[in-house]
Structure 1
Protein backbone atom coordinates (compact mmCIF):
# COMPACT_ATOMS: atom_id res chain seq x y z
CA UNK A 1 0.00 0.00 0.00
CA UNK A 2 1.30 3.47 -0.90
CA UNK A 3 -0.59 5.08 2.00
CA UNK A 4 -1.42 3.87 5.51
CA UNK A 5 -3.71 6.67 6.67
CA UNK A 6 -5.80 8.80 4.36
CA UNK A 7 -8.47 11.44 4.55
CA UNK A 8 -11.07 11.24 1.80
CA UNK A 9 -12.81 14.46 0.80
CA UNK A 10 -16.20 13.65 -0.73
CA UNK A 11 -18.26 16.39 -2.31
CA UNK A 12 -21.99 16.37 -1.78
CA UNK A 13 -22.44 16.48 -5.55
CA UNK A 14 -20.49 13.24 -5.86
CA UNK A 15 -22.94 11.47 -3.52
CA UNK A 16 -25.88 12.86 -5.51
CA UNK A 17 -24.59 11.31 -8.74
CA UNK A 18 -26.71 12.08 -11.78
CA UNK A 19 -29.61 13.09 -9.52
CA UNK A 20 -27.80 16.41 -8.84
CA UNK A 21 -29.79 16.86 -5.62
CA UNK A 22 -30.03 14.75 -2.49
CA UNK A 23 -28.32 11.41 -1.88
CA UNK A 24 -28.29 8.73 -4.57
CA UNK A 25 -28.43 5.40 -2.68
CA UNK A 26 -26.67 3.45 -5.44
CA UNK A 27 -23.79 5.93 -5.68
CA UNK A 28 -23.46 6.08 -1.89
CA UNK A 29 -23.41 2.28 -1.60
CA UNK A 30 -20.85 1.99 -4.40
CA UNK A 31 -18.68 4.56 -2.61
CA UNK A 32 -19.07 2.70 0.67
CA UNK A 33 -17.89 -0.54 -0.97
CA UNK A 34 -14.73 1.18 -2.24
CA UNK A 35 -14.07 2.57 1.23
CA UNK A 36 -14.58 -0.86 2.82
CA UNK A 37 -12.13 -2.37 0.33
CA UNK A 38 -9.26 -0.08 1.27
CA UNK A 39 -10.12 -0.36 4.98
CA UNK A 40 -9.95 -4.17 4.63
CA UNK A 41 -6.41 -3.74 3.29
CA UNK A 42 -5.28 -2.08 6.50
CA UNK A 43 -5.61 1.57 5.50
CA UNK A 44 -6.92 3.96 8.18
CA UNK A 45 -9.76 5.99 6.68
CA UNK A 46 -11.15 9.36 7.75
CA UNK A 47 -13.70 11.19 5.63
CA UNK A 48 -14.92 14.78 5.28
CA UNK A 49 -18.14 15.26 3.35
CA UNK A 50 -19.48 18.37 1.67
CA UNK A 51 -23.10 19.45 1.49
CA UNK A 52 -23.53 21.01 -1.95
CA UNK A 53 -26.12 18.41 -2.97
CA UNK A 54 -28.49 19.96 -0.40
CA UNK A 55 -27.34 23.50 0.26
CA UNK A 56 -24.37 25.76 -0.44
CA UNK A 57 -23.24 28.08 2.33
CA UNK A 58 -21.93 30.82 0.02
CA UNK A 59 -25.10 32.51 -1.12
CA UNK A 60 -26.71 35.88 -1.52
CA UNK A 61 -30.24 37.13 -1.05
CA UNK A 62 -31.92 37.62 2.31
CA UNK A 63 -29.92 34.96 4.17
CA UNK A 64 -26.69 36.33 5.61
CA UNK A 65 -23.40 34.52 5.06
CA UNK A 66 -22.99 33.11 8.58
CA UNK A 67 -26.53 31.71 8.67
CA UNK A 68 -26.11 30.21 5.20
CA UNK A 69 -22.87 28.55 6.28
CA UNK A 70 -24.57 27.02 9.31
CA UNK A 71 -27.27 25.64 7.02
CA UNK A 72 -24.52 24.18 4.84
CA UNK A 73 -23.00 22.49 7.90
CA UNK A 74 -26.31 20.74 8.58
CA UNK A 75 -26.32 19.50 4.98
CA UNK A 76 -22.91 17.88 5.51
CA UNK A 77 -24.27 16.06 8.56
CA UNK A 78 -27.09 14.58 6.45
CA UNK A 79 -24.53 13.27 3.96
CA UNK A 80 -22.33 11.90 6.75
CA UNK A 81 -25.25 9.96 8.24
CA UNK A 82 -26.21 8.56 4.82
CA UNK A 83 -22.64 7.39 4.17
CA UNK A 84 -22.38 5.88 7.65
CA UNK A 85 -25.58 3.93 7.09
CA UNK A 86 -24.28 2.54 3.77
CA UNK A 87 -20.99 1.50 5.39
CA UNK A 88 -22.77 -0.21 8.31
CA UNK A 89 -25.08 -2.03 5.90
CA UNK A 90 -22.07 -3.80 4.34
CA UNK A 91 -20.39 -4.63 7.62
CA UNK A 92 -17.90 -1.76 7.77
CA UNK A 93 -17.73 -0.07 11.16
CA UNK A 94 -18.13 3.69 10.92
CA UNK A 95 -18.55 6.62 13.28
CA UNK A 96 -19.92 10.08 12.51
CA UNK A 97 -18.39 12.93 14.49
CA UNK A 98 -19.67 16.47 14.15
CA UNK A 99 -18.12 19.85 14.90
CA UNK A 100 -21.57 21.10 15.89
CA UNK A 101 -23.28 19.26 18.73
CA UNK A 102 -26.17 17.01 17.61
CA UNK A 103 -26.12 14.48 20.43
CA UNK A 104 -29.04 12.30 19.31
CA UNK A 105 -27.57 11.80 15.83
CA UNK A 106 -23.79 11.86 16.10
CA UNK A 107 -20.87 12.15 18.47
CA UNK A 108 -19.24 15.52 19.06
CA UNK A 109 -15.79 15.90 17.53
CA UNK A 110 -12.83 15.02 19.72
CA UNK A 111 -9.39 14.64 18.17
CA UNK A 112 -8.27 12.03 20.70
CA UNK A 113 -11.45 9.97 20.33
CA UNK A 114 -11.26 10.14 16.54
CA UNK A 115 -7.67 8.87 16.63
CA UNK A 116 -8.76 6.04 18.93
CA UNK A 117 -11.50 5.04 16.47
CA UNK A 118 -9.00 4.99 13.60
CA UNK A 119 -6.67 2.74 15.61
CA UNK A 120 -9.64 0.43 16.27
CA UNK A 121 -10.15 0.07 12.53
CA UNK A 122 -13.30 2.17 12.30
CA UNK A 123 -13.98 4.60 9.46
CA UNK A 124 -14.45 8.10 10.92
CA UNK A 125 -16.74 10.51 9.06
CA UNK A 126 -16.53 14.19 9.94
CA UNK A 127 -19.67 16.28 9.47
CA UNK A 128 -20.51 19.86 10.35
CA UNK A 129 -17.48 21.45 8.72
CA UNK A 130 -15.15 23.19 11.15
CA UNK A 131 -18.11 24.25 13.27
CA UNK A 132 -17.54 27.89 12.35
CA UNK A 133 -18.92 29.91 9.42
CA UNK A 134 -16.70 31.38 6.71
CA UNK A 135 -14.69 28.15 6.29
CA UNK A 136 -15.20 25.69 3.43
CA UNK A 137 -15.25 21.90 3.69
CA UNK A 138 -11.93 21.97 1.79
CA UNK A 139 -10.48 23.78 4.79
CA UNK A 140 -12.17 21.24 7.06
CA UNK A 141 -10.49 18.44 5.10
CA UNK A 142 -7.07 20.09 5.43
CA UNK A 143 -7.60 20.72 9.15
CA UNK A 144 -8.80 17.19 9.94
CA UNK A 145 -6.04 15.66 7.82
CA UNK A 146 -3.47 17.54 9.88
CA UNK A 147 -5.15 16.56 13.15
CA UNK A 148 -5.44 12.89 12.14
CA UNK A 149 -1.83 12.73 10.88
CA UNK A 150 -3.09 11.67 7.44
CA UNK A 151 -0.48 11.29 4.72
CA UNK A 152 -2.73 12.47 1.92
CA UNK A 153 -6.12 13.97 1.16
CA UNK A 154 -7.88 11.95 -1.52
CA UNK A 155 -10.21 14.41 -3.20
CA UNK A 156 -12.93 12.43 -4.96
CA UNK A 157 -14.60 14.60 -7.58
CA UNK A 158 -16.86 14.33 -10.59
CA UNK A 159 -13.84 15.11 -12.81
CA UNK A 160 -10.84 12.77 -13.20
CA UNK A 161 -7.98 15.23 -12.57
CA UNK A 162 -7.00 18.88 -12.30
CA UNK A 163 -7.23 20.82 -15.57
CA UNK A 164 -6.16 24.31 -16.57
CA UNK A 165 -9.83 25.02 -17.35
CA UNK A 166 -13.12 23.17 -17.38
CA UNK A 167 -12.57 20.47 -20.04
CA UNK A 168 -16.31 20.36 -20.73
CA UNK A 169 -16.23 24.01 -21.76
CA UNK A 170 -12.68 24.26 -23.12
CA UNK A 171 -11.46 21.34 -25.30
CA UNK A 172 -7.92 22.75 -25.16
CA UNK A 173 -7.75 22.50 -21.34
CA UNK A 174 -4.48 20.96 -20.14
CA UNK A 175 -4.65 17.94 -17.83
CA UNK A 176 -2.09 17.99 -15.02
CA UNK A 177 -0.53 14.88 -13.47
CA UNK A 178 1.63 16.70 -10.94
CA UNK A 179 1.40 20.14 -9.33
CA UNK A 180 2.72 22.02 -6.33
CA UNK A 181 0.61 24.10 -3.97
CA UNK A 182 2.30 27.19 -5.36
CA UNK A 183 1.08 26.17 -8.83
CA UNK A 184 -2.48 26.24 -7.51
CA UNK A 185 -2.00 29.84 -6.42
CA UNK A 186 0.00 31.07 -9.42
CA UNK A 187 -2.16 29.35 -12.05
CA UNK A 188 -5.37 30.20 -10.17
CA UNK A 189 -6.50 26.58 -10.38
CA UNK A 190 -9.86 25.86 -8.74
CA UNK A 191 -8.70 22.77 -6.84
CA UNK A 192 -9.35 23.97 -3.30
CA UNK A 193 -9.55 27.34 -1.60
CA UNK A 194 -6.36 29.15 -0.62
CA UNK A 195 -6.87 28.65 3.12
CA UNK A 196 -7.02 24.88 2.62
CA UNK A 197 -4.06 24.87 0.20
CA UNK A 198 -1.94 26.89 2.63
CA UNK A 199 -2.81 24.56 5.51
CA UNK A 200 -1.84 21.52 3.42
CA UNK A 201 1.40 23.13 2.29
CA UNK A 202 2.40 24.19 5.81
CA UNK A 203 1.76 20.67 7.15
CA UNK A 204 3.30 18.78 4.20
CA UNK A 205 0.03 17.01 3.38
CA UNK A 206 -0.27 15.68 -0.16
CA UNK A 207 -3.46 16.06 -2.20
CA UNK A 208 -4.61 13.59 -4.82
CA UNK A 209 -7.50 14.53 -7.11
CA UNK A 210 -9.31 11.74 -8.95
CA UNK A 211 -12.75 10.72 -10.21
CA UNK A 212 -15.09 9.04 -7.73
CA UNK A 213 -16.76 7.29 -10.67
CA UNK A 214 -13.48 5.56 -11.63
CA UNK A 215 -14.04 1.82 -11.16
CA UNK A 216 -12.01 0.81 -8.11
CA UNK A 217 -10.51 4.30 -8.09
CA UNK A 218 -9.78 4.45 -4.37
CA UNK A 219 -7.90 1.15 -4.43
CA UNK A 220 -5.92 2.25 -7.49
CA UNK A 221 -4.81 5.43 -5.73
CA UNK A 222 -3.88 3.50 -2.59
CA UNK A 223 -1.79 1.16 -4.74
CA UNK A 224 0.03 4.08 -6.32
CA UNK A 225 -1.56 4.00 -9.76
CA UNK A 226 -1.54 7.32 -11.62
CA UNK A 227 -5.19 8.02 -12.37
CA UNK A 228 -5.47 11.69 -11.38
CA UNK A 229 -3.42 14.65 -10.21
CA UNK A 230 -0.95 14.71 -7.32
CA UNK A 231 -0.43 18.04 -5.55
CA UNK A 232 2.43 18.39 -3.05
Structure 2
Protein backbone atom coordinates (compact mmCIF):
# COMPACT_ATOMS: atom_id res chain seq x y z
CA UNK A 1 0.00 0.00 0.00
CA UNK A 2 1.34 3.46 -0.85
CA UNK A 3 1.82 6.19 1.72
CA UNK A 4 -0.93 8.23 0.07
CA UNK A 5 -3.38 5.37 0.51
CA UNK A 6 -3.04 5.33 4.31
CA UNK A 7 -5.57 7.25 6.41
CA UNK A 8 -3.36 8.49 9.21
CA UNK A 9 -6.30 9.64 11.31
CA UNK A 10 -7.75 6.14 11.31
CA UNK A 11 -4.32 4.64 12.08
CA UNK A 12 -4.02 6.91 15.13
CA UNK A 13 -7.57 6.19 16.27
CA UNK A 14 -7.06 2.43 15.91
CA UNK A 15 -3.88 2.48 17.98
CA UNK A 16 -5.16 4.78 20.68
CA UNK A 17 -8.70 3.45 21.03
CA UNK A 18 -10.41 1.09 18.54
CA UNK A 19 -7.58 -1.51 18.52
CA UNK A 20 -5.91 -0.58 21.78
CA UNK A 21 -3.40 -3.27 22.66
CA UNK A 22 -4.73 -3.76 26.20
CA UNK A 23 -8.33 -2.53 26.27
CA UNK A 24 -9.44 -3.90 22.88
CA UNK A 25 -7.08 -6.73 21.86
CA UNK A 26 -6.23 -7.91 25.40
CA UNK A 27 -2.61 -8.49 24.43
CA UNK A 28 0.56 -8.06 26.54
CA UNK A 29 -1.25 -9.12 29.70
CA UNK A 30 1.97 -10.20 31.42
CA UNK A 31 3.58 -6.73 31.65
CA UNK A 32 0.16 -5.13 32.04
CA UNK A 33 -0.51 -7.02 35.25
CA UNK A 34 3.06 -7.03 36.54
CA UNK A 35 4.31 -3.45 36.15
CA UNK A 36 1.16 -1.38 36.69
CA UNK A 37 1.50 -1.15 40.44
CA UNK A 38 2.03 2.60 39.94
CA UNK A 39 1.51 5.16 37.22
CA UNK A 40 5.25 5.75 37.01
CA UNK A 41 6.01 2.10 36.28
CA UNK A 42 3.26 1.93 33.67
CA UNK A 43 4.47 5.10 31.97
CA UNK A 44 8.08 3.90 31.87
CA UNK A 45 7.18 0.48 30.48
CA UNK A 46 4.84 2.00 27.93
CA UNK A 47 7.41 4.47 26.62
CA UNK A 48 10.05 1.74 26.34
CA UNK A 49 7.64 -0.42 24.35
CA UNK A 50 6.66 2.54 22.17
CA UNK A 51 10.30 3.11 21.22
CA UNK A 52 10.60 -0.53 20.15
CA UNK A 53 7.31 -0.43 18.25
CA UNK A 54 8.21 2.67 16.24
CA UNK A 55 11.76 1.52 15.43
CA UNK A 56 10.77 -2.07 14.56
CA UNK A 57 7.91 -0.95 12.33
CA UNK A 58 10.19 1.43 10.44
CA UNK A 59 12.99 -1.10 10.00
CA UNK A 60 10.71 -3.93 8.94
CA UNK A 61 8.92 -1.66 6.49
CA UNK A 62 12.25 -0.52 5.04
CA UNK A 63 13.45 -4.08 4.39
CA UNK A 64 10.11 -5.65 3.45
CA UNK A 65 10.96 -5.82 -0.25
CA UNK A 66 14.16 -7.74 0.48
CA UNK A 67 12.70 -10.38 2.82
CA UNK A 68 10.83 -13.38 1.47
CA UNK A 69 7.59 -14.58 3.03
CA UNK A 70 9.22 -17.85 4.11
CA UNK A 71 11.70 -16.20 6.49
CA UNK A 72 9.84 -13.05 7.48
CA UNK A 73 8.92 -14.19 11.01
CA UNK A 74 12.51 -15.07 12.04
CA UNK A 75 13.64 -11.73 10.57
CA UNK A 76 10.96 -9.90 12.57
CA UNK A 77 12.10 -11.62 15.77
CA UNK A 78 15.76 -10.78 15.18
CA UNK A 79 14.97 -7.11 14.48
CA UNK A 80 12.73 -6.79 17.54
CA UNK A 81 15.19 -8.62 19.80
CA UNK A 82 18.03 -6.32 18.69
CA UNK A 83 15.98 -3.20 19.41
CA UNK A 84 14.86 -4.52 22.79
CA UNK A 85 18.48 -5.20 23.71
CA UNK A 86 19.37 -1.61 22.83
CA UNK A 87 16.47 -0.26 24.90
CA UNK A 88 17.42 -2.54 27.80
CA UNK A 89 21.02 -1.31 27.75
CA UNK A 90 19.93 2.32 27.43
CA UNK A 91 17.61 2.10 30.43
CA UNK A 92 20.35 0.41 32.43
CA UNK A 93 22.77 3.20 31.57
CA UNK A 94 20.59 6.31 31.89
CA UNK A 95 17.51 5.32 33.93
CA UNK A 96 18.98 2.66 36.18
CA UNK A 97 16.37 2.97 38.94
CA UNK A 98 13.56 2.41 36.46
CA UNK A 99 15.57 -0.44 34.94
CA UNK A 100 15.76 -2.13 38.35
CA UNK A 101 12.01 -1.77 38.88
CA UNK A 102 10.96 -3.07 35.46
CA UNK A 103 13.63 -5.77 35.50
CA UNK A 104 12.91 -8.85 33.39
CA UNK A 105 9.86 -7.30 31.76
CA UNK A 106 12.02 -5.07 29.57
CA UNK A 107 13.59 -8.14 27.96
CA UNK A 108 10.15 -9.72 27.62
CA UNK A 109 9.16 -6.96 25.19
CA UNK A 110 10.65 -9.31 22.60
CA UNK A 111 7.72 -11.70 23.03
CA UNK A 112 5.09 -8.97 23.18
CA UNK A 113 2.47 -10.17 20.69
CA UNK A 114 1.49 -6.60 19.83
CA UNK A 115 4.93 -5.78 18.39
CA UNK A 116 5.21 -8.92 16.28
CA UNK A 117 1.58 -8.53 15.28
CA UNK A 118 2.04 -4.97 14.00
CA UNK A 119 5.13 -6.04 12.08
CA UNK A 120 3.13 -8.77 10.34
CA UNK A 121 -0.20 -6.96 9.92
CA UNK A 122 0.99 -3.45 9.04
CA UNK A 123 4.71 -2.75 8.69
CA UNK A 124 5.35 -5.58 6.22
CA UNK A 125 2.60 -4.21 3.96
CA UNK A 126 3.04 -0.43 4.19
CA UNK A 127 5.62 2.31 3.73
CA UNK A 128 8.06 3.57 6.34
CA UNK A 129 6.17 6.74 7.31
CA UNK A 130 2.84 4.96 7.66
CA UNK A 131 4.50 2.19 9.69
CA UNK A 132 6.12 4.73 11.98
CA UNK A 133 2.73 6.37 12.59
CA UNK A 134 1.17 2.98 13.27
CA UNK A 135 3.93 2.06 15.72
CA UNK A 136 3.60 5.41 17.48
CA UNK A 137 -0.19 5.09 17.73
CA UNK A 138 -0.06 1.54 19.06
CA UNK A 139 2.72 2.45 21.47
CA UNK A 140 0.93 5.50 22.81
CA UNK A 141 -2.25 3.47 23.19
CA UNK A 142 -0.33 0.86 25.13
CA UNK A 143 1.32 3.56 27.25
CA UNK A 144 -2.07 5.13 27.94
CA UNK A 145 -3.52 1.79 29.05
CA UNK A 146 -0.59 0.94 31.34
CA UNK A 147 -0.50 4.43 32.84
CA UNK A 148 -4.24 4.55 33.51
CA UNK A 149 -4.18 1.10 35.10
CA UNK A 150 -1.16 2.07 37.18
CA UNK A 151 -2.78 5.30 38.35
CA UNK A 152 -6.01 3.52 39.33
CA UNK A 153 -4.18 0.85 41.29
CA UNK A 154 -1.80 3.35 42.86
CA UNK A 155 -4.56 5.77 43.88
CA UNK A 156 -6.69 3.10 45.53
CA UNK A 157 -3.70 1.19 46.87
CA UNK A 158 -1.72 4.04 48.42
CA UNK A 159 -3.48 7.34 47.74
CA UNK A 160 -0.71 8.73 45.50
CA UNK A 161 -0.19 9.43 41.80
CA UNK A 162 3.09 8.93 39.93
CA UNK A 163 4.99 8.04 43.11
CA UNK A 164 8.81 8.24 42.76
CA UNK A 165 8.56 9.71 39.25
CA UNK A 166 11.60 11.91 39.85
CA UNK A 167 13.65 8.90 41.00
CA UNK A 168 12.61 6.47 38.26
CA UNK A 169 12.18 8.79 35.27
CA UNK A 170 14.45 11.67 36.20
CA UNK A 171 14.20 14.98 38.13
CA UNK A 172 12.26 16.66 35.31
CA UNK A 173 9.28 14.39 36.08
CA UNK A 174 9.01 15.49 39.71
CA UNK A 175 5.98 17.67 38.89
CA UNK A 176 3.94 14.51 38.33
CA UNK A 177 4.26 13.32 41.94
CA UNK A 178 1.10 13.90 43.97
CA UNK A 179 -0.19 12.83 47.36
CA UNK A 180 -3.92 12.83 46.65
CA UNK A 181 -5.23 11.41 49.92
CA UNK A 182 -3.14 12.42 53.00
CA UNK A 183 -2.91 9.89 55.85
CA UNK A 184 -4.51 7.24 53.64
CA UNK A 185 -3.96 3.67 54.83
CA UNK A 186 -4.53 2.20 51.38
CA UNK A 187 -5.93 -1.03 49.99
CA UNK A 188 -3.03 -3.45 49.68
CA UNK A 189 -4.92 -5.80 47.35
CA UNK A 190 -4.90 -3.21 44.54
CA UNK A 191 -1.10 -3.25 44.45
CA UNK A 192 -0.98 -7.05 44.53
CA UNK A 193 -1.70 -9.20 41.41
CA UNK A 194 -5.48 -9.51 42.06
CA UNK A 195 -5.70 -5.74 41.90
CA UNK A 196 -4.47 -5.77 38.33
CA UNK A 197 -7.32 -8.02 37.22
CA UNK A 198 -9.87 -5.93 39.12
CA UNK A 199 -8.59 -2.67 37.64
CA UNK A 200 -8.52 -4.09 34.12
CA UNK A 201 -12.03 -5.50 34.46
CA UNK A 202 -13.55 -2.22 35.63
CA UNK A 203 -11.69 -0.23 32.97
CA UNK A 204 -12.92 -2.60 30.24
CA UNK A 205 -16.49 -2.13 31.48
CA UNK A 206 -16.03 1.66 31.46
CA UNK A 207 -14.66 1.58 27.90
CA UNK A 208 -17.53 -0.59 26.63
CA UNK A 209 -20.12 1.66 28.28
CA UNK A 210 -18.53 4.78 26.80
CA UNK A 211 -18.46 3.22 23.33
CA UNK A 212 -22.15 2.26 23.61
CA UNK A 213 -23.16 5.77 24.61
CA UNK A 214 -21.15 7.32 21.79
CA UNK A 215 -22.62 4.84 19.30
CA UNK A 216 -26.17 5.57 20.45
CA UNK A 217 -25.64 9.29 19.94
CA UNK A 218 -24.46 8.73 16.37
CA UNK A 219 -27.57 6.72 15.39
CA UNK A 220 -30.07 9.14 13.77
CA UNK A 221 -33.59 9.11 15.13
CA UNK A 222 -36.23 7.88 12.67
CA UNK A 223 -38.10 10.72 10.96
CA UNK A 224 -41.77 11.07 11.86
CA UNK A 225 -44.26 11.06 8.97
CA UNK A 226 -47.43 13.10 9.29
CA UNK A 227 -50.53 11.80 7.63
CA UNK A 228 -52.09 14.19 5.11
Question: RCO higher in 1 or 2 (8 Å CA, sep ≥ 6)?
Answer: 2
Give 1 or 2 for the bigger CA radius of gyration: 2
Bigger strand share: 1
User: Same fold judged by TM-score > 0.5?
Assistant: no
TM-score, normalisation: structure 2: 0.28
